[in-house]
Structure 1
């Protein structure tokens, strides 16, 4: 068995031990058909091509939406929560009015995506938001002018309290999708033609500074990439971070939204070569629920 494991792609070896809180029995047939590098390539695409940053081509993520800025160049990601509400990062929308953005929904895993566009009625910024090099309370909700049809089929729910258990948090595999720059150079943005995805696992420490590890902030989810060099980057902010169903790469529930990434101090020409940080939705559970309650009319 150990000899067989040596031929498995390192990514798969890590993933299968982290997806579930317990290791499931693996049959010989499953081992050869589902865990082989060829299966990985067929299902998830080739590693190392034009990506989020060293990520993979994403499957269709029905809940992913794009927030398009109309008065200035740029966009960011968001997740559909129900027929009227989406969730994103505050640093995406804090300086704009509802009429300055619109929402784009469609199958972004296709190059010839057919998008449906929705106007925005209102924007809600989480209390205590502070935009700096490491944004604080980086969360916002968006309400559309018109309901999104069949939202119950394409939306994603927020993970419950049990899903945020610290032990599961460190063992779980998370996905984040987006259409941000695939280039680490802050002066040259390369926008992919299709949706990209990166896989992460949680860590209780902020490891962005190699000389000093600090506990992860309460409003953050700190992560490590499952693929070396992977991270979120320019224009990925607001994108959904989701927990996978046990034993699969099918999203189960929404865990966070992309907030920011950091760079190593000795690589000044790169801005996205180390830690990826996400806003912790459980930390804002009461605010999210209250925003729904006060504005669902």
Structure 2
């Protein structure tokens, strides 16, 4: 079986994202220095990522950096209070690959730092999706300083299953996307957001490294909406913030 993760560290064939164009993008960094995964801001105190990014990783070992398109300049680092992996995450077949990160303090929102709305509607074949992340732009290669982006098209569940028959199972809790050989995701993009018209539909999970013309596989946000809300409501601090936001917004 081909390894699905060891070379998962780059957007191949992408272009530079304009400064401030992806305000929800997060860089997860070991001790706040070495980028290892992407993520997204979903509330001022909550970040969404892939379970495999934070598997067996203690909160004190990494930080979340927001507000910059560059790995080596700018941004603000936030300490991590707690990490919650999906209770049924299976790293053997990469199933339920989703995790929530709670920050110690609220992330300061601005023109270049903001939350992303989560998608709760089906994604149809051929729809345009946007992938963003930091990863080397060739394989093998080094991570770029600049945040990269790539426009993709949604692939059907059946087509994705067929493409990966000899590699790994594809589940209904996942969605797939691709363009062509020479364009796709890899390491370091893991955990990052896949977005449709400003709403996050997927979390980078796995693929055949790198950009070999096979669909990349993403955790389907729509499938896990109940789990996300349940996890937020079970956290005492975030529950209080959630109730306060509901009162503020009048619902």
CA RMSD of aligned residues (A): 2.7
Please list the CA deviations of residues 142-180 of structure 1 after superposition, one character each: whole Å capped at 9, or x if unmatched: 00000011279611110123xx1xxx5213100010002
TM-score by length of 2: 0.80
Which residue of the partner structure matches residue 286 of structure 1?
Answer: 226
TM-score by length of 1: 0.68
Which residue of the partner structure matches residue 100 of structure 2?
Answer: 141
Which residue of the partner structure matches residue 130 of structure 1?
Answer: 90
Which residue of the partner structure matches residue 275 of structure 1?
Answer: 215
Give the counterpart of 1:115 among 65, 75, 100: 75
C-alpha spacing 1:95/1:172, structure 2 compared with 1 (3 Å): same
Please list the CA deviations of residues 124-158 of structure 1 after superposition, one character each: whole Å capped at 9, or x if unmatched: 101211113x5111000000000011279611110
TM-fit CA distance, 1:101: 0.8
Which residue of the partner structure matches residue 124 of structure 2?
Answer: 169
Which residue of the partner structure matches residue 14 of structure 1?
Answer: none
Pick the structure with more strand per residue: 2
Which residue of the partner structure matches residue 92 of structure 1?
Answer: 53
Which residue of the partner structure matches residue 200 of structure 2?
Answer: 254
Rounded Cα–Cα distance in structure 2 between residues aligned with 1:87 and 1:277 = 17
TM-fit CA distance, 1:233: 0.6
Residue 222 (1) aligns with residue 168 (2): no
Which residue of the partner structure matches residue 16 of structure 1?
Answer: none
Residue 150 (1) aligns with residue 109 (2): yes
Rounded Cα–Cα distance in structure 2 between residues aligned with 1:95 and 1:284 = 21
Which residue of the partner structure matches residue 4 of structure 2?
Answer: none
Residue 192 (1) aligns with residue 152 (2): no
Between 1 and 2, higher relative CO (CA 8 Å, sep ≥ 6) is seen in 2
Alignment of 1:41-120 (within 5 A): 52-59=11-18, 60-70=21-31, 74-108=35-69, 113-120=73-80
